[in-house]
Amino acid sequence: MRQGVVQCMRVINMGRSFLLNALKTLIVIVLATTLSMVLEQHYQIGKESVMMVFLLCVLFSTVWTESWIQGIFASAICVVLFNYLFTEPRFTLAIHSSKDIVFLGFFIIAVIVSVLITVRLQRQIFLAAENERAAKTLYSIALGFLTVNGEDEICQKALRFIMDYTGVSSEIDITANAFPRGDLIYPIQLSSDNHGFIRVFSEQRQLKQKDDMIIHAVATQVGIAVHRERLRREQENIRFAMEKERQKSTLLRSVAHDLRSPLTALEGESNLLTENYGELTHEERQLLAGHMKEEIQWLTGLIENILDMTRITDGQLILNREPQPLDDLISEAVSHTKELLKGRKFSVTLPDHVAVIWADGRLIVQVLVNLLENAVRHTPEYTDIQLSAKVTDGSVEITVADTGEGIPEDMRKSIFERFVSVNHHVADGKRGLGLGLAICKTIVEAHDGRIWVQENNPHGAAFTVTLPLEA
């Protein structure tokens, strides 16, 4: 039923187009006839000149209507009008002169040749324009797929191109290895690899050549884009695996290095206590026990950092956020580091009013502890350390500053990466795995905060953390 309606509408449109072209042809013939009669009466031109006017009439009609049928129709009418109006006897269709018969014969031949040449030129112009449009279309399709990332976006782009340039709906499957049966199935292939297919939904069993070419081009570009995306994903997986292996090697090397030093010290101090216990004074035994305690505390912190980084890497960092008074968190962090801070000039500055943040208290305390330990372990004993906090624009800003040597400007961004330390860029140099700041950054960003380092005037480093206040 619908196909019948479509065919009926097509016939009606063709009829309208034919009548419009016929009207154009008649207008041109009337103008040419009028011009010929005026020229003959007022300027006494001959039959040859009149014939040239009618020849131009036929050519102009063919060009205007873009139809060779109208050119033949115009030439037939022009022959009749020329015979009727300009040959003897006039105003009859009879021809008495053989010269006029030959003249009309050559006119008909010239008209037919001219019409055929004109039609061929028009067709070549039309094909050139079509080829130009097709080239622009193919270029825009290829250009559109260059900036596409992700297989879902590639599929959406392909469906949009097919709808925009052909007007038909379609579906795409880039996971199938076999193609379903059907007339309007376009395989997505690159070399010998199958990347799925495009199915076009149309009432016609065969599309126009232009639409078919566009869909083939889209299928080819989809194959290239999908292949590129999968190569990129494989390269990313390889890069990730290599980075993971590198980090594992660095971690094992750093753990072995950092465990050897405190374990050697513990072994030496314990042997000294065991073998010379009676000969040592009470103060010497207390000093050795204190050194052993410091080494054990450092080892405990090292293991905690390794475990925390393992949880972060595995995506198992869980936040138990509750309203937390900032004063309590800072007090707890200071109490955890009081042994490290002994002998240091250390000061704490708190806001005038109680500030409450929405955070996981244990993790925020760990951030502050790591920053304080970092300040102690990477600065000489004579340097000052200050912990300050203030409330600014709906957030709290916590700063741990020291007056040591500071951090070079070119390292202020990489300092928060794993296995990076100030002294040798990787953590094999000074004691410490270089995980503390990386853990701080992960925890702070999980709380929708920021952490950065800047120069502390007149010298030293200042680590600043911003966290949102409780809503």
Q: Is residue 286 part of a domain?
A: yes
**pLDDT attached to residue 421:** 56
Task: Identify whether residues 280 and 344 lie together within a single domain.
Answer: no
The CATH number assigned to the domain holding 246 equals: 1.10.287
Task: Identify whether residues 462 and 325 lie together within a single domain.
Answer: yes
Q: Is residue 21 part of a domain?
A: yes
Which of these ranges, 156-165, 279-288, 291-300, has the smallest mean pLDDT? 291-300
Residue 295 has pLDDT above 80, yes or no: no
Q: Is residue 116 part of a domain?
A: yes
Q: Is residue 83 part of a domain?
A: yes
Task: Identify whether residues 295 and 324 lie together within a single domain.
Answer: no
Task: Identify whether residues 305 and 353 lie together within a single domain.
Answer: no
Q: How far apart are alpha carbons 99 and 81 in whole angstroms?
A: 17
Task: Identify whether residues 301 and 335 lie together within a single domain.
Answer: no
Domain final position from 109, 130, 151: 130
Helices (H), 276-347: 282-313, 326-336
Residue 242 has pLDDT above 90, yes or no: no
**pLDDT attached to residue 251:** 62
Q: Is residue 372 part of a domain?
A: yes
Which is higher by pLDDT, 463 or 206? 463
Closest CA to 86 of 53, 34, 39, 37: 37
Residue 150 has pLDDT above 90, yes or no: no
Q: What's the pLDDT tens digit per position in 393-439? A: 889 999 999 988 888 877 777 787 765 555 444 333 344 445 678 77
Domain final position from 130, 165, 199: 130
Q: Is residue 273 part of a domain?
A: yes
Task: Identify whether residues 297 and 338 lie together within a single domain.
Answer: no
**pLDDT attached to residue 464:** 93
Task: Identify whether residues 363 and 248 lie together within a single domain.
Answer: no
**pLDDT attached to residue 102:** 82
- Range(s) of the domain holding residue 111: 2-130
Task: Identify whether residues 350 and 456 lie together within a single domain.
Answer: yes
Q: Is residue 435 part of a domain?
A: yes
Task: Identify whether residues 66 and 125 lie together within a single domain.
Answer: yes
Task: Identify whether residues 445 and 334 lie together within a single domain.
Answer: yes
Residues 6+ apart with CB under 8 A from 388: 348, 349, 350, 398, 399, 401
Domain final position from 310, 343, 361: 310
pLDDT band at 465 (very low <50, low <70, confident <90, very high): very high
Residue 3 has pLDDT above 60, yes or no: no
Which is higher by pLDDT, 88 or 398? 398
The burial of 392, by beta-carbon neighbours within 10 Å (0-12 exposed, 13-18 middle, 19 or more buried), is given as exposed
The count of structural domains within the chain is: 3
Task: Identify whether residues 327 and 459 lie together within a single domain.
Answer: yes
Q: Is residue 434 part of a domain?
A: yes
**pLDDT attached to residue 25:** 86
Contact 369, 337 (CB under 8 A): yes
